[in-house]
Amino acid sequence: MAVTMTTAEQALKILYLGVLRDQLNIKTDPFYNKIKSSTKHVVGKEVRQMAPYGVNGGVGAGTETGTLPAAGGNQYKQFVTDTKNLYGTISISDKSIKASANNSGAFVNLLNQELEGLMKASKFNLSRMLHTDGTGILTLCKANATPGVTLEVVSTKYLIEGMTVDIRDTDGDIVTGGGARRVLSVNRSDNEITISGANIATEATDLISVQGSYGLELTGFEEIFKTTGDLYGVARATNHWMVPYMQATTGIISDIKIRKAIDYQEEIMGAEVDYLLGTSGVVRSYYEYLEATKRNVNTLDLQGGFKAIGFAGIPMVSSRFAKDGTLKLLSSKDFTMHHMGDWEWMEGGNGRILQQVASTPVWTATLVKYAELVCSHPGGQAELQGITEDDGIDES
């Protein structure tokens, strides 16, 4: 069968869209799989959700014939936040399409390669967004006074080869020549990256973000786990129930320290902790603790093919994007991915999925989802900080 633009679009919509949705919704991140999705509270372009706090005030004791307690309904705060615009784009040259026009197998291979790359990049960035603060900042730069394409950075934790990034100043403005640079190489040992394009100098106050994404990403954990400022339009300063439990100096991880945080969440905040999330170093440290105390390691199977060890039946999962030296104790039922709809191919004004890039022989297709992550009970979450991590080095 000859390949045409019509059959190519049908393949993207009918054969590949379901696979992409499955991969992105189920296999991106174990906690991403755990939380629910909903369109219920999306109003226009915003998420508007009423968040209950405290207890009903209509309870009291009294005399046999006295006045009954005054009614006091549940207390609510309205959370308001914009849905975020999540995009993933593939591109195929017109020449490649023409070259495989009479070979459907070759065209399928071409699409497979492009879509596998899209899925890998999308999973990486969605998981990263889940763990960060919504600013899109990947790292701060170090002072690179001599212009070059190899730059020293503070951390390479959120960087990977192939990303397209912007270099911005402390105000968030793209520095001269700093827009849309491709990351060609990441030296994780020396915290250096090599980027495409002309030589550039950076200051220690400069930052690196994903192209076009500065201040526009999902509201992730690091924005929720703060003690000051507003969250979803509600001031933490006057609503202390918005502030998660955070233990600053944990040291060596142990069951007692985890149990203490869980007890506080259950007894004081009315939360049900059902998920433990940390770095691989933190999880390895807990393994070491179990070995030292001659305890059995219980393994749990999670949705999406992920595995975890168990603490009193609660899965403990590692993520490369988790904050160093921390273990988050989460109540997954408090998190919702609010969205306007599932992943879809963006259609142009002509109703087509594949669109020609202006003045080029290249066709693109864009996958899109409008969504925002909301935690309805921020104070019901907890974090143990300053955990002594296992460095993975065998010293035997």
User: pLDDT per residue over 232-256, tens digit each?
Assistant: 999 999 999 999 999 999 999 999 9
- Name the pTM for this structure: 0.89
Query: Residue 28 — very low, low, confident or very high, per pLDDT cuts 50/70/90?
Result: confident
Burial of 380 (0-12, 13-18, 19+ CB in 10 A): buried
Using one digit for the tens of pLDDT, what is the confidence trace for 166-215? 999 999 999 999 999 999 999 999 999 999 999 999 999 999 999 999 99
What does the block give as tokens for 364?
Answer: 């693109």
294 pLDDT above the threshold of 60 = yes
- Tokens encoding 220: 């992730």
Q: Which is higher by pLDDT, 216 or 30?
A: 216
Render the burial of 308-322: b for 16+ CB within 10 Å, e for the rest: bbebeebbbbbbebb
- The Cα–Cα gap between 233 and 243 comes to 14
Per-residue pLDDT at 33: 86
Residue 85, judged by CB atoms within 10 A of its CB (0-12, 13-18, 19+), counts as: middle
Beta strands in 188-279 (DSSP E): 192-195, 200-202, 207-210, 230-231, 234-235, 245-247, 275-278
**What pLDDT is recorded for position 395?**
52
68 or 322, higher pLDDT: 322
Question: Rounded distance, CA 368 to CA 105, Å?
Answer: 27
pLDDT tier at 392, thresholds 50, 70, 90: low
Q: Of 107-121, 258-272, 311-325, which range is least confident? A: 107-121
pLDDT of residue 396: 47
Q: Please, are residues 359 and 319 in contact by the beta-carbon 8 Å criterion?
A: no
State the sign of the Cα–Cα–Cα–Cα dihedral 292, 295, 296, 299.
negative
From residue 383, give the alpha-carbon distance in Å to each of 66, 245, 283.
Answer: 47, 6, 14
Contact (CB, 8 A) for 54 and 150: no
Quickly state the pLDDT bin for 11 (edges 50, 70, 90): confident
Distance CA 10, CA 107 (A): 13
To the nearest 10°, the Cα dihedral for 116, 121, 126, 129?
A: 170
Per DSSP bridges, beta strands 299-301 and 307-311 are: antiparallel
Average pLDDT, the chain: 91
Helices 17-26 and 104-131: crossing angle in degrees, nearest 10, is 30
**Residue 2: what pLDDT?**
55
pLDDT bin (cut points 50, 70, 90) of residue 278 is: very high
What is the spatial distance between Cα 75 and Cα 79, in angstroms, rounded to a whole number? 13
Residue 260 main-chain phi, psi, to 5 deg: -60, -45
